[in-house]
Amino acid sequence: MTGEDDGVRWLAPDELAAWMSLAALMFKLPGALDYQLQRDSGLTHFEYLVMAGLSESPDRSRRMSELAGFANGSLSRLSHVVKRLEKRGFVVRRPDVEDGRITVAELTDAGWEQVVAAAPGHVAAVREYVIDALTPEQLAQLKEIGDAIHRKVDPGRSC
């Protein structure tokens, strides 16, 4: 299926190898990170990202759409997730005072404690799977590669 001259630029062996390596990584890494967080802290990676995003913000609060962008998710997804987190007591929602369309989510004390408790394990997992698996040069290369791909996939965001 790769030899014919059908006008398609199929992948050369080394290109294929690199792609397969990236593909395998893309499929396994999220699962591994999710598994660790779920097991040790009862949180999805996405839930963790949301709460971590809030924990770093002034007043531990942030508007929904901003938070969605930070966590790489749709507004709808965030809305559902925040509703669940609210039900669990980790977050509260309230309309913005200045612009009634805006909803700001705020981390509760219980939520704060939850993130603080979850963070070390998560960082350790990232370290184990990624950072400590690579040399410093590879880490620098990875950043360049990631940025290059990211620019192609999502050209709008790089402005």
Partner DNA sequence: CGCGATGAGTTGAAGCGTCAACCAATTCGG
Partner DNA sequence: CCGAATTGGTTGACGCTTCAACTCATCGCG
Chain positions contacting a second copy, by CB under 8 A: 1, 6, 8-11, 14-15, 17-19, 21-30, 32, 55-56, 72, 119-120, 123-124, 126-134, 138-154
The answer to the question of residue 63 lying near DNA (CB under 7 A) is yes
The answer to the question of residue 74 lying near DNA (CB under 7 A) is yes
Q: Work out how close the CB of 101 gets to a second copy at its nearest, in angstroms, rounded to a whole number.
A: 27
Torsion of CA 76, 81, 86, 91, to 10 degrees: -90
Directed axis angle between helix 109-129 and helix 45-55, to 10°?
120
Q: Name the burial class of residue 148, with classes exposed (0-12), middle (13-18) and buried (19+) by CB atoms within 10 angstroms of its CB.
A: exposed
**Binding site partner of 83, from DNA, a second copy, none, Cβ cut-off 5-8 A by kind:** DNA
CB 131 within 8 A of CB 31: no
Q: Of the candidates 14, 59, 99, 144, which one interacts with DNA according to CB under 7 A?
A: 99
CB 120 within 8 A of CB 76: no
Q: Work out how close the CB of 4 gets to a second copy at its nearest, in angstroms, rounded to a whole number.
A: 11
Q: Which two tokens stand for residue 37?
A: 């967080």
Q: Of the candidates 65, 145, 150, 154, which one interacts with DNA according to CB under 7 A?
A: 65
The answer to the question of residue 126 lying near DNA (CB under 7 A) is no
Backbone angles phi, psi at 74, to 5 degrees: -75, 160
Site of interaction with DNA (CB under 7 A) = 31, 44, 46, 63-65, 73-84, 93, 95, 98-104
